[in-house]
Structure 1
Amino acid sequence: MGLRSTEKVKVRVLVYHGTKRAKGEVDLGQYDFVLTSYSTIESDCRKHIAFRIGEATLPEPLFALKGEYNWVLSGTPLQNRVGELYSLFLEVFPYSYYLCKDCKCRLQDFSSSKVCTDCGHCIRHFCWWNEYIARHIQVSSSQKGCQRAMTLLRETVMKNIVSRRTKKGRAADIALPSKIVTLRRDSMDEQEHRVL
């Protein structure tokens, strides 16, 4: 099989992180890749209204981030509560959406108004994540309900969208040369003996 040659493409990357990041408005649309962190977005958006999802508070601008592809990289996606995973799924249907029980309406950010702005139904929307995952794990009165939610989380959600890399799984990629142990017997000279 022959090698395929492709034309060199210039990729525009913005690293929007740290103290030297651009202040004020930045046109993210002019970049192919924007690298940032949740805490950077959070600190830049403190003035914006934040809303709560379970115990997690998320700034509205997180939902305004649009792209053809959104990747999330995390070394520790879950530390304390299952709700911490929610922010990883902000663009993944149906996990981050509010779904209407009466029609096929779906919203990402659902305000607390009495009527849905998309379908006009009275408040008949539910958050998929809260309905099927978080509520059962956090406050389930039965062990069986919690187990079902954890199985759904592991088998349906995580397996389909998470690529997990472990040190053991990547060991062949980072193989070190074999260790060589050499024993030497050195004797001290007169000056070194005096120091002791």
Structure 2
Amino acid sequence: MRILKICVLVLLFGHASKAQIALGFSTSQDLYYKGASDFKRFYGVGLQYYVGDHVSFNNRIMFGVNQTNKGVMVHYGLGGLLTQAALSGGGWFWTSGNFVNELIGLVILPVIIPEGVQFHLGGDNLRISPYIYPASFEYNTFTDSKLNLNDKEVKAILEVGTGFQILVKDGLLISPNIGWKMRYGDKRQAITLGVMIAFISKD
């Protein structure tokens, strides 16, 4: 019940502050160049929650395929990691005894805990938007010793880069980005290209 109350308070605060929200399709293409070469494609949903005019907290939940061995992967932020831990037997999460309340908390948790932060510089229709995702995670469903990946293993990732936000018309946002990724632990690095096509709420 405690987690549900926290979720509700955050959502109410966001509604009261009339923050903008962008929600839409997100994709990422990652080319690993340090160590064994590797190429990954991810597709999913992206969320940007604006706090003021120049800062947003971002989240992505994406499913992908490793092009080297066709293994399936899942990309998410810290909230997604906590949800996975809870569903995998983290008894610490289930505190209220009310399944419905806790289930709602599990759904909201990946949304309110951001994957990273992005800064937006420029006018209303075109912005340069540098970002940092210090807490991204990739869940692997396969084993590949060459790529240092094991089945049911989570890899933590740092990502930094720059996006370009283009408001093509009222409510429709196109945001391509280019960035650099590094896996914590084995230091494998990648160049990433992506785009988000989203609908953005009005102020």
Pairwise TM-score range, normalised by the shorter structure: under 0.3
State TM-score, norm by structure 1. 0.24
Higher relative contact order by CA 8 Å / sep ≥ 6: 1 or 2? 2
TM-score after normalising by structure 2? 0.24
More helix by share: 1
Flag the structure with higher strand content: 2
